[in-house]
Amino acid sequence: MKYFAHTFLSIFLILMLLPQYIFFHSLADFVTIIFITIFLFLLAFVNRIIFALFFIFFLIISVIKVHLYLHWGDAIDLISRLNVFLQSPKSETEEYLRTYMYNSDYLLIISATVLFFLVIKTITYIEQKQSLKSYLLIVVFFAILQNQKPLNLVTYYFISSETSQAISKRKELLLKEKDLEVKQCKIDYDTVLIIQGESANKNHMSIYNYSIETTPFLNGLSKMDNFYKYDIIAPSNQTRYSVPMMLTDANVNSWYKQFSNSVSIVTKLKRCGFQTQWISTQGRRGLHEDSITSIAEEASSMHFLDNKTKQDEEILEYLRINNENQKNKQAYIFHIMGSHFRYSSRYTEHRLYNKANNITNEYDNSIFSTDFLLKKIFKHFSNNKKILLIYFSDHGEVVSNNKSGHGYYPGYKDEYDIPFIMYSTISNNRLKFSEKKRTKLNGESINKILEYVIGISNDNNFSYSSEVFSLSPKNKINYEDLDFYH
């Protein structure tokens, strides 16, 4: 029986670690996985409880890897995925589970549970020698493996990520801005409205020639003078990286350093005498502080309109109740849910399809709802004579009845094709900056573009690079090398 127990244990370990063997990234990773297999096998002869804890840990990692492979086509960069989880608000995590947990995932969890109990039953037949030498051997093995994937996930959780370190360093920079002196800036606008969208794929917007009229307000506004739409790509397919690149000096080639050492367009507007408000329908932060909140804290005031439905029309109620101070120049930065999954939760009565019977229809409804929001925000400030309205999205979205979402690796062009629109109620020749360019702008330049158009800066040296990254700054890719999902 002991012989069979040893054999079954070996088989069960290979089954449990099979995703690790399939999705290894390098030869070093493959060697590490072999060592992990040996490590667990030896551990079963030392202590059943310690073995069970380690087995559960690796079993969870394997389940997550299979889930990622099934839904996102990538099970390699687990650290970046964990970073996303730790910086996501609780509500977003809950929504993710409601959206992307399929029958295959439940079957996977059930199979993993059965495998665990089979292993626990098997090791009761294995003789354990809890000698000092046995424990020393396990310690040596663990010491070798503890900083290797996937064991380093434990280390990662307890230490600050690079993003958290950048945020901490940035706090010192922002402290110096508390007593900033307002300078004289030659700015004609008295109201700047920046709407930071979410997951908006411009190829589903009629203003960008989509066959279905999803943006009637923007279509109408496009007939006015001083309306411009730009051809642009998002610098990342993750919000926590793309928004800082769009609003600060952070860029694809220097994210952490530039984010740590630069203020955003919010502070630069404050320096020029604008009262700034950050108004968000997105959650404030996850288990770790996030890069978006770091930027929001630069505003004169910030308001996170936390509500269970996470619908952007809450902004309209906020604006109705809170009358702005007309004596000062005003800048509003709206960070909206837009078309974030789950699409059917992003809209109420303002929709194209009363009965959206597929994902594409639901997504188009969310774009239509965002267009309605833009219309209402603009109307709220229509008594102001000198307005600059700006709308862009943090990243795009893959939209198909077979596959939908963002954060794929290496990614699809759908995740990077975003809208960038500006409308001025007064004449402004600086809006024409890209008329002679035939290449796509890179969204890492949006902050510089806004500074130039508003009049804060005269620098019009913008980025037309096709280099972007997927999931995290370490995964640089070329947009032109990607395909559309279809």
Whether the pLDDT of residue 287 is over 50: the answer is no
Q: How confident is the model at residue 415 (pLDDT cuts 50, 70, 90)?
A: very high
Whether 188 and 92 map to the same domain: the answer is no
Give 385: exposed, middle or buried? Use CB within 10 Å, 0-12, 13-18, 19+: exposed
175 occurs within a structural domain: no
pLDDT of residue 184: 77
pLDDT over threshold 60, residue 3: yes
More confident of the two residues 435 and 267: 267
Across residues 352-365, what is the average pLDDT?
A: 89
Residue 323 or residue 391, greater confidence: 391
Q: Which residue has the higher pLDDT, 235 or 473?
A: 235
174, part of any domain: no
C-alpha span between 296 and 333 (Å, rounded): 9
CA-to-CA dists, residue 7 to 10, 14, 52, 173, 405, angstroms: 5, 11, 18, 60, 42
Domain's final residue, options 90, 124, 158: 158
| pLDDT higher at 148 or 382 | 382
Q: Looking at residue 31, what is its pLDDT?
A: 83
Q: Is residue 9 part of a domain?
A: yes
The verdict on 235 and 358 lying in the same domain is yes
Q: Residue range 76-95: average pLDDT? A: 70
Burial class (CB in 10 A: 0-12, 13-18, 19+), 96: middle
pLDDT (tens digit per residue) in 157-210: 554 467 777 888 888 888 877 766 777 788 999 999 999 999 999 999 999 999
Percentage, residues of the chain above pLDDT 90: 44
In a shared domain, residues 144 and 208: no
Asked whether the predicted pLDDT for residue 1 surpasses 70, the reply is: no
Considering the domain architecture, whether residues 40 and 82 belong to the same structural domain is answered as: yes
Report the pLDDT value the prediction gives residue 141, as an integer from 0 to 100: 77
Give the per-residue SS3 of the chain. Answer: CHHHHHHHHHHHHHHHHHHHHHCCCCHHHHHHHHHHHHHHHHHCCCCHHHHHHHHHHHHHHHHHHHHHHHHHCCCCCHHHHHHHHHCCCHHHHHHHHHHHCCHHHHHHHHHHHHHHHHHHHHHCCCCCCCCHHHHHHHHHHHHHHCCCCCCHHHHHHHCCCHHHHHHHHHHHHHHCCCCCCCCCCCCCCCEEEEEEECCCCHHHCHHHCCCCCCCHHHHHHCCCCCEEECCEECCECCHHHHHHHHHCCCECCEHHHHHHCCCCHHHHHHHCCEEEEEEECCCCCCCCCCHHHHHHCCCCEEEECCCCCCCCCHHHHHHHHCCCCCCCEEEEEEECCCCCCCHHHCCCCCCCCCCCCCHHHHHHHHHHHHHHHHHHHHHHCCCCCCEEEEEEECCCCEECCCCEECCCCCCCHHHCEECEEEEECCCCHHHHCCCCCCCCEEHHHHHHHHHHHHCCCCCCCCCCCCEEECCCCCCEEEHHHCCCCC
111 is in which domain, residue-wise?
Answer: 2-158
Boundary of a domain, candidates 105, 128, 158: 158
Q: How confident is the model at residue 153 (pLDDT cuts 50, 70, 90)?
A: low
Question: Per-residue pLDDT averaged across 35-45, rounded?
Answer: 86
Tell me the pLDDT of the chain averaged across its residues. Answer: 86
List the structure tokens of 283.
């959650």
Q: Is the pLDDT of residue 306 over 60?
A: yes
Mean pLDDT of 218-244: 95
Residues 295 and 444 in one domain: yes
Looking at the structure, tell me whether residues 151 and 200 fall in a common domain.
Answer: no
Shared-domain flag, residues 98 and 19: yes
pLDDT in tens, 106-141: 998 999 999 999 998 888 888 877 777 777 877 887
What pLDDT band is residue 270 in, cutting at 50, 70 and 90? very high
Residues 432 and 324 in one domain: yes
Instruction: Determine the average pLDDT of the residues in 460-467.
Output: 95
Asked if the model's pLDDT at residue 150 lies above 80, the reply is no
Let me know whether 115 and 236 are in one domain: no
Residues 6 or more apart from 132 whose CB is under 8 A from it?
A: none
Strand partners, 197: 393
- Residue 288: pLDDT band by 50, 70, 90 thresholds? very low
Res 70 pLDDT > 90: no
Residue 258 predicted with pLDDT over 60: yes
Say if 276 falls within a structural domain: yes
171 falls within a domain:
no
Which one has a higher pLDDT value, 346 or 424? 424
pLDDT band at 284 (very low <50, low <70, confident <90, very high): low
- Which one has a higher pLDDT value, 94 or 19? 19
Same domain, yes or no: 318 and 445? yes
pLDDT band at 2 (very low <50, low <70, confident <90, very high): low
Q: Average pLDDT, stretch 386-411? A: 92
334-348 per-position pLDDT tens digit: 999 999 888 888 887
Return the pLDDT at 192.
97
Q: Are residues 153 and 202 in the same domain?
A: no
Residue 83 lies in a domain: yes
Q: Is 166 part of a structural domain of the chain?
A: no
Task: Report how many domains make up the chain.
Answer: 2
Q: Select from 158, 191, 212 the last residue of a domain.
A: 158
Tell me the CATH number at 242: 3.40.720.10
Residue 486 lies in a domain: no
Question: Higher pLDDT residue, 241 or 82?
Answer: 241
438 and 362 in one domain? yes
More confident site: 73 or 161:
73
Name the band, by pLDDT with cuts 50, 70 and 90, for residue 49.
Answer: confident
Q: Which region holds residue 471: left if phi is over 0, alpha if psi is between -120 and 50, else beta?
A: left
